[in-house]
Amino acid sequence: MVKKDEKNKKKEVSYGAEDIVVLEGLEPVRKRPGMYIGSTGNDGLHHLIWEIFDNSRDEAMGGFSDRIEVALLPGNRVRVIDNGRGIPVGIHPKTKVSALETIMTTLHAGGKFEGKSYKVSGGLHGVGASVVNALSVYTKVEVHNEGDVYMQEYERGRRKALVKKVGKSKFCGTVVTFEPDPEIFKEMGWNWHQIIGHLRQQAYLTKSLRVVVLDLREYKGALKLDNEVYLEDLNLEVPSMSFYFDGGLVSLVRFYNQQQKPVHKNIFSVEKEVDGVQVEVAMQYIDDIASRELAFANNTYNMDGGTHVTGFRTALTRKMNEYARKNNFIKESDENFTADDVREGLTSAISVKLQDIQFEGQTKGKLGSIEARGAVEKVFGEGLGMFLEENPEDARAIVNKVLLALRARKAAKAAKESVLRKGALEGLTLPGKLADCQSSKAEESEIFIVEGESAGGSSKQGRDRRTQAILPLKGKILNVERARLDKMLASVEIRALVIAMGCGIGDVFDVSKLRYHKIIIATDADVDGAHIRTLILTLFYRYFKAVIEGGYIYIAQPPLYKIKRGKEVKYVYSEEEKIAYLGKDISLLETVEEVEAGSAEPVEVEAEAEGAEQGEAKSGKKREQKISLQRYKGLGEMNPDELWETTMNPVSRILKQVTIEDAVDADRAINVLMGEEVLPRKLFIQSNAKMANIDV
């Protein structure tokens, strides 16, 4: 029953035709940017570059361009130039303004709808350039065509003036310069490695295209932006990379496997067009247990896969079973290979190009075109069958690799069932070493994975028992990069962690059953602590990736020093912070050894107080203020109060959230650092030794 006063209150709220808001032009983009670029964080910021680059790349895919340059300029600006046909500048018959202005300021405007200007393209909604323009505080487009240069500038999606002719040029192409709007993107900062990785990938996918990337953000000299030349031609001494590949996906697979041990010599590849769909697939098995799938549609990376990946997996599983049974690798009574069996240790790249492409969402993370599945299944299936028949040595090595995966899966399943069964029957639903929290709400519960029993003891005493659980791990856990699931579950420490999390593992993993929405890795600030942290992160990446992707993994940041200046206590987390805090008093500590936590007494030195009392100032006496410096070497050496105040208290602690910016690069890094091959790890250490922050 609605009360009378509530009825009157509802009547006071106006809701008529005049209350319907119509967003015009590019206003919807600025109102809801996440709908168009995914987010306004790091990924969304870099998505602006991808959108402009994709327009230039589509020119190359159509055979109209062979060179693209991307330059990071001072002031967060980005400049993309290609030698394609140039955006048309004539008057559009419908909008009655320049076609250039129409493309840059109107959603769903472009040359990719009818299929006349582009046979295939990454864009399909005609919103890329206009979205970048809407989300940029400044944009400038220069078009070089038929000997003339045309230019138009924009501010937050609105033109500043009409398109005008600004000069002559022998060059033909388009130059786009933009500066993201700080009102939209709160954290500005281009990631050089992320940009390099993405554009390298694009160069592999577009044969005979030269992609150049320049970093001029720190360039202090006079920068002459001559519109008729690429910035690379100015021979500036700045960081730069250049990519050019003729091998296509074979080169891409070879690149990702360059530091791995291949199972078979020849990289499989096939390229063919079926029913208007261009299909290219390359793959190679390596001596590893993880799989890597790189999926592309019209050169756009599909991180969530799609119909082309479904077709690939279906054909792979079917053909491997057919060949294995035909050649008596598996008998009639044996079970078939599963999709997981045939993908273990496989690096594959699947690319399709088609005209009327359909993605799920503007960020194009997943391909939805139905015809892609059948085309890939047919082309890849036929090609793989021929490859296995024509390369018997490679085929034997591949099938033996898959057989090993099948046996390991059976053993792992038995081990997993044994672990879960024991946990239920013997009353070990939760491990005995776990000090669980009182709350049963996952969204407010957090678990600290701490290093050692001493740290576990301090943590258990200092925690908030209602919401904080403590799980101490003894020593370094098993390196799961070198172990299968059955061996992994035999580890007491890993088994305890799996059971404590509550979301299962392997084919029964369900992230919705996670018992804690903050999993905090708390290790000592030394080399051993860093190693333990890396081992734990490897475990999560390989077997609980969804937990990382869900934003549930954090790394605790315990302080390095406790500084007492008189009655004031200050915790600092780096050498730089210590120096900044002590200021001129740092000179008094140069000849004093820093005490480690657990020693009898902290080191005390005397320093002149900056704020001496008036009476002491008049008498000429100096007030002495004691400074004590305590160096923490481990969490177990901190008492419970200090541990709570610095590392566990949600109000004062510092946590770093673990994210996966690029899953492929993360996968390669873990393989290098944690895999069996020593040489790649040695080369990595030699290349990055100067960047290491070593606490001796």
Residue 1 or 529, more confident: 529
Among 354, 357, 647, smallest CA distance to 523 is for 647
pLDDT for 689: 59
239, pLDDT greater than 60? yes
Residue 13 or 108, more confident: 108
Cα separation values, 681 from 43, 218, 671, 672, Å: 29, 31, 9, 5
Q: Which of 446, 524, 637, 645 is catalytic?
A: 524
Q: Which of 304, 528, 665, 677 is catalytic?
A: 528
Out of 7-16, 214-223, 352-361, 680-689, least confident range: 7-16
Structural tokens at position 439:
């709350």
Mean pLDDT of 397-403: 94
Among 277, 231, 264, 289, smallest CA distance to 390 is for 264
77, pLDDT greater than 70? yes
User: Are 484 and 467 within 8 A, CB to CB?
Assistant: no
pLDDT for 508: 76
pLDDT for 666: 62
DSSP string, 463-528: S-TTTEEEEEE-SPPP-GGG--HHHHHT-HHHHHHHHHH-S--GGG--GGG-S-SEEEEE--SSHH
User: Domain 27-243 falls in which CATH fold?
Assistant: Heat Shock Protein 90 (3.30.565)
pLDDT in tens, 16-27: 444 433 444 577
Q: Which of 153, 271, 340, 526 is catalytic?
A: 526
* Cα 48–Cα 54–Cα 55 angle in degrees, nearest 5: 100
User: Are 165 and 210 within 8 A, CB to CB?
Assistant: no
- Gyration radius of the chain over CA positions: 30
Asked about 58 being catalytic, the answer comes back as no
User: Are 356 and 294 within 8 A, CB to CB?
Assistant: no
421 band by pLDDT with thresholds 50, 70 and 90: low
User: Are 48 and 78 within 8 A, CB to CB?
Assistant: yes
Mean pLDDT of 651-656: 90
Q: CATH class for domain 249-410?
A: alpha beta
Mean pLDDT of 441-468: 90
pLDDT in tens, 603-637: 555 554 444 444 444 444 445 567 788 888 778 77
Among 339, 353, 343, 363, smallest CA distance to 296 is for 353
Per domain, the residue ranges of the chain are: 27-243, 249-410, 431-558+656-663
Tell me the one-letter amino acid at 502. G
208, pLDDT greater than 70? yes
pLDDT for 614: 44
Out of 64-78, 406-420, 540-554, least confident range: 406-420
335, pLDDT greater than 60? yes
Q: How far apart are CA 274 and CA 374, in angstroms?
A: 9
The label of the residue with tokens 């799920």 reads 360
363 band by pLDDT with thresholds 50, 70 and 90: low
Q: Which of 58, 451, 493, 667 is catalytic?
A: 451
pLDDT for 532: 87
pTM given for the model: 0.64
Which helix (H) or strand (E) segment is 282 a member of? strand 277-285
Residue 64's φ and ψ, nearest 5 degrees, are -100, -5
Beta strands in 126-267 (DSSP E): 136-145, 148-155, 158-159, 164-168, 173-180, 210-215, 240-243
Across the chain, how many H-helices and E-strands are there? 22, 24
Mean pLDDT of 281-286: 95
User: Are 568 and 610 within 8 A, CB to CB?
Assistant: no
Out of 17-26, 345-354, 571-580, least confident range: 17-26
73 band by pLDDT with thresholds 50, 70 and 90: very high
Q: What's the whole-number average pLDDT of the chain?
A: 81
Provide, rounded to the nearest whole percent, the portion of the chain with pLDDT above 70: 78
pLDDT for 116: 46
User: Are 447 and 470 within 8 A, CB to CB?
Assistant: yes
Cβ atoms < 10 Å from Cβ of 519: 26
Mean pLDDT of 23-34: 70
Among 238, 189, 250, 190, smallest CA distance to 212 is for 238
pLDDT in tens, 108-136: 655 443 444 444 544 433 357 889 999 99
Beta strands in 146-184 (DSSP E): 148-155, 158-159, 164-168, 173-180
Cα separation values, 445 from 517, 552, 689, Å: 6, 11, 39
Cβ atoms < 10 Å from Cβ of 613: 11
pLDDT for 310: 95
Asked about 526 being catalytic, the answer comes back as yes
Asked about 233 being catalytic, the answer comes back as no
Dihedral class, residue 333 (left if φ above 0, else alpha if ψ from -120 to 50, else beta): alpha
Asked about 288 being catalytic, the answer comes back as no
User: Domain 431-558+656-663 falls in which CATH fold?
Assistant: Rossmann fold (3.40.50)
